[in-house]
Amino acid sequence: MNVQTASAVKGLRTVAVPVTDQDRAVEFYVGRLGFEIRVDAPLDEIGGRWIELAPAGSGTTIALTTDDAIRLHDELSGQRVDVGDVLNWPGVPPMFEFRDPDGNGLVIVEESANRDADAATGPAVAIHRTIGGESLPAARPDIVSAAEWQEARESLLVAEKEATRAQDALAARRRRLPMVKFTNDYALTTPDGPRSLPELFDGRTQLVVYQFMDNGPDDYCPGCTWFTKNVPAAGPAALAANGVTWVTVSDMPLAQIEAYKSRMGWTVPFVSSRGTSFSQDCGAGGGFMLSVFLRAGDDVYRTYNTTSRGVDGLVFVNKILDLTPYGRQEDWEDSPAGWPQHPTYG
């Protein structure tokens, strides 16, 4: 290696130990030698798992590390070093093997940029690394003729139209749901002072409330954050033009809400229900939920609520990703073998 290339190697981290039985190896190193498991991630593309172990309390395992595996791989290849392909397996950082003049194989692993912060807990692994951005994954859709593609597309269109008609039928049933009178004596905390539930309608007759989970001080639900980030900036105004008010409510204290709103750059209306039974009365408890209300004078009625996948289905980015070849790349999805995937909140 020349001096420039050598400077790209940042450290020593992991020794690769090939084994015939991973569970037996883990039992030996952990059960008998007292090592700790630092990483245990599935290798969906080839089967098995990528496991990293280290002595208890140690911040070091062994391998050459770099901050850019692809760049270093290309530099070494240009110098006619015997290098293998860069591996981009789901759940593990990019890596490649090279051999020295004596034929010894070494692995270079791309290290997290936040290495110092991660050192106390062991090697950093980019579990949520974006795949399918600058470089195309090895697993790809089949290449077919234009006629074959059109035939497959038209077959899928039949199923899509069936799903659309089913969704239309569900919406029709939703519009025919009865309603139930709802308590309206809450004193909800807003930046403009206390407001009742009828006052949240802001003079309109319909109100949609998203309940953002309260995880305690300085802890914010990633799913609620993802959902709120996906509320279009023009969304509340567009709903208001149709007689619907949008408000996000949380049991978090208002000061915590306002600080997080500022940090995230959100403009969505956000109020605190802390100290009230609103969350419990909605049935959300400590979770998240979307509820729809109707107001007749000062009387408030609930007409609809949903949670889990019902809320997930409203997220703009998820809807678009569901149209792409690799989807959301989350590990619950039914995707072809080898498709890039990561833990939903990994």
Q: 338 is written with which tokens?
A: 């080898």
Highest mean pLDDT among 35-44, 121-130, 202-211: 202-211
Which pLDDT band holds residue 85 (cuts at 50, 70, 90)?
confident
Is residue 18 classed exposed, middle or buried when 0-12, 13-18 and 19+ CB atoms within 10 A define those classes? exposed
Q: Please report where in the chains the tokens 């989807």 appear, as a residue.
A: 327
Question: What angle in degrees, to the nearest 10, is found between the helix axes of 254-264 and 222-229?
Answer: 60
Highest mean pLDDT among 34-48, 93-107, 123-137, 227-241: 227-241
- Domain membership of residue 307 (yes or no) is yes
The single-letter code of the amino acid at 136 is: L
- Domain membership of residue 127 (yes or no) is no
Q: Are residues 24 and 72 in the same domain?
A: yes
Quick one: average pLDDT of 64-80? 75
Q: Is residue 228's pLDDT more than 80? A: yes
Q: Are residues 7 and 81 in the same domain?
A: yes
- Domain membership of residue 197 (yes or no) is yes
Q: Are residues 76 and 201 in the same domain?
A: no
Q: Is residue 91's pLDDT more than 60? A: no
Q: Is residue 301's pLDDT more than 50? A: yes
Q: Are residues 184 and 166 in the same domain?
A: no
Q: Are residues 243 and 291 in the same domain?
A: yes
Q: Are residues 171 and 214 in the same domain?
A: no
The residue among 43, 135, 23 whose CA lies nearest residue 331 is 43
Q: Are residues 168 and 199 in the same domain?
A: no
Please indicate whether residue 297 or residue 91 has the higher confidence score (pLDDT). Answer: 297
Q: Are residues 188 and 312 in the same domain?
A: yes
Q: Are residues 191 and 285 in the same domain?
A: yes
Q: Is residue 74's pLDDT more than 80? A: no
Write out pLDDT tens, residues 137-161. Answer: 778 899 999 999 999 999 999 999 9
- Domain membership of residue 324 (yes or no) is no
Mean pLDDT in the chain? 81
Q: Are residues 188 and 300 in the same domain?
A: yes
Which pLDDT band holds residue 232 (cuts at 50, 70, 90)?
very high
- Report whether 51 contacts 44 (CB < 8 A): no
- Report whether 123 contacts 13 (CB < 8 A): yes
- Report whether 111 contacts 124 (CB < 8 A): yes
Domain tally for the chain? 3
Q: Are residues 191 and 288 in the same domain?
A: yes
User: Could you tell me the residue range of the domain that residue 228 belongs to?
Assistant: 179-316
- Domain membership of residue 96 (yes or no) is yes
CA distance 280 to 287: 10
For residues 43-74, b (16+ Cβ closer than 10 Å) or e, as one string?
A: ebbeeeebbbbbeeeeeebbbbbbeebeebbe
Angle in degrees, CA 135, 141, 145, rounded to 5: 120
Q: Is residue 125's pLDDT more than 80? A: no
CA terminus-to-terminus distance, the chain: 36
Work out the percent of the chain whose per-residue pLDDT is above 90. 52
- Domain membership of residue 93 (yes or no) is yes
- Domain membership of residue 325 (yes or no) is no
Q: Are residues 148 and 272 in the same domain?
A: no
- Domain membership of residue 66 (yes or no) is yes
**Sign of the torsion angle spanned by Cα atoms 338, 340, 344, 346:** positive
Q: What is the pLDDT of residue 3?
A: 45
Q: What is the pLDDT of residue 87?
A: 74
Q: Is residue 179's pLDDT more than 80? A: yes
Quick one: average pLDDT of 215-225? 91
CATH code, 29: 3.10.180.10
CATH code, 255: 3.40.30.10
- Residue 138: CA atoms inside 13 Å, Cβ hemisphere, count? 11
